[in-house]
Amino acid sequence: MKADSNLERMLESGSFTVTGEIGPPKSCNGDVVRHHAKMLKGCCESFNLTDNQTAIVRLSSIAAGKILLEEGCEPNIQIVCRDRNRIAIQSDVLGAAALGIKNILCLSGDHQKFGNHPTSKNVYDIDSIQLIKILDGMRNGYFANGEEMRDEPPKILIGCAANPFADPFEFRVTRLEKKADAGADFCQTQCVLDLERFERWMEMVRARGLHKRIKILAGITPLKSAKVAKYMNNNVAGMMVSEEYINRLEHADDPKAEGINIAVEQIQHLKNIEGLAGVHIMAIAWEEIIPEICKRAGLNPRPQA
């Protein structure tokens, strides 16, 4: 075991794994995180805590992770390369590990243009693949400069993202392979809202045997309305929503309920895809729906690992 986290044990057990996601608030009100932790406790192996997602200033992912630990939930903190250089990131990794955080997800980060500080300077001292490699080095006892740690190295499970809906499509699998080479243990994909394309991507993943080297969790995002679905399809780079889902939401009497139905159906379908280790449920600003989705998709109660 690299980190002996809940998440790692479940992935290693071979059971279909479930992770969730909590967006920290735009305030110092830790009770918002605490509230979500209490509500979601036990329905997933671990919960991602986003790192200033869409470049909007929020309560830090590590601080939110600490609150989750206090509530008996397992955090998976996200680290983006946009805001910190290799010095700050390594320092945060040591700090997070000291607090008991065992899972870290490495991301490039959304460009600051999309956030609430578009005039800021970005960092990108390193990219997400280089970040994975640095973290892998750290857990083996080395800093990014090659210096050996004098004390115990941080025990961390390293995650990454993959986006089968971005381009160039053929290169997406190569990029996942590079992340596995760099040392990533698991990967959470962009929300799957086009099953056909996702399955083609998984075929390519299996053809290269990548599913045996890195655990893949498919991203699930319940949609609240046809309007949201269309917006994501047309305006968010690297997102695709199939016509079928847009139509279903458009014609539904209760679009929110239909959004949940779609998410549940997707999970049931994905359970049968060879090489898929589980799902990652990202209910954006709708965290309270995660338990219902898990229950209806037959994912709860969670087995012990």
- Chain positions contacting another protein, by CB under 8 A: 81-82, 86, 108-111, 113-114, 122, 124-130, 133-134, 144, 161-163, 165-168, 171, 174-175, 177-178, 181-182, 190, 237-238
**Would you say 232 and 239 are in contact if contact means Cβ atoms under 8 Å apart?**
yes
Query: With respect to another protein, which residue has the nearer C-beta, 193 or 260?
Result: 193
Query: With respect to another protein, which residue has the nearer C-beta, 137 or 255?
Result: 137
Residue 52 Cβ, how far from another protein at the closest point, in Å?
Answer: 15
Give the SS3 label for residue 219: strand
Distance, in Å, from the CA atom of 204 to the CA atom of 274, rounded to the nearest integer, reads 12
Query: With respect to another protein, which residue has the nearer C-beta, 144 or 290?
Result: 144
H or E stretch covering 244? helix 243-251
Residue 81 Cβ, how far from another protein at the closest point, in Å?
Answer: 8
Give the SS3 label for residue 158: strand
Give the SS3 label for residue 278: strand
Measured N-to-C along each axis, helices 195-207 and 169-182 cross at an angle, to the nearest 10 degrees, of: 50
Distance, in Å, from the CA atom of 236 to the CA atom of 299, rounded to the nearest integer, reads 29
Residue 12 Cβ, how far from another protein at the closest point, in Å?
Answer: 25
**Would you say 266 and 278 are in contact if contact means Cβ atoms under 8 Å apart?**
no
Query: With respect to another protein, which residue has the nearer C-beta, 113 or 251?
Result: 113
Residue 109 Cβ, how far from another protein at the closest point, in Å?
Answer: 8
**Would you say 95 and 125 are in contact if contact means Cβ atoms under 8 Å apart?**
no
Residue 137 Cβ, how far from another protein at the closest point, in Å?
Answer: 11
Give the SS3 label for residue 240: coil
Q: Which residues of 87-100 are buried (b: 16+ CB within 10 A; e: fewer)?
A: eebbebbbebbeee
Distance, in Å, from the CA atom of 297 to the CA atom of 285, rounded to the nearest integer, reads 20
Distance, in Å, from the CA atom of 276 to the CA atom of 15, rounded to the nearest integer, reads 10
Query: With respect to another protein, which residue has the nearer C-beta, 174 or 247?
Result: 174
Query: With respect to another protein, which residue has the nearer C-beta, 6 or 189?
Result: 189
Query: With respect to another protein, which residue has the nearer C-beta, 12 or 177?
Result: 177
Residue 134 Cβ, how far from another protein at the closest point, in Å?
Answer: 7
Residue 146 Cβ, how far from another protein at the closest point, in Å?
Answer: 11
Residue 163 Cβ, how far from another protein at the closest point, in Å?
Answer: 3
Query: With respect to another protein, which residue has the nearer C-beta, 238 or 298?
Result: 238
Q: What is the DSSP string of 96-139?
A: HHHTT--EEEEE----GGGSS-TTSPP--SS-HHHHHHHHHHHH
User: Which residues share a beta bridge with 280?
Assistant: 19, 219
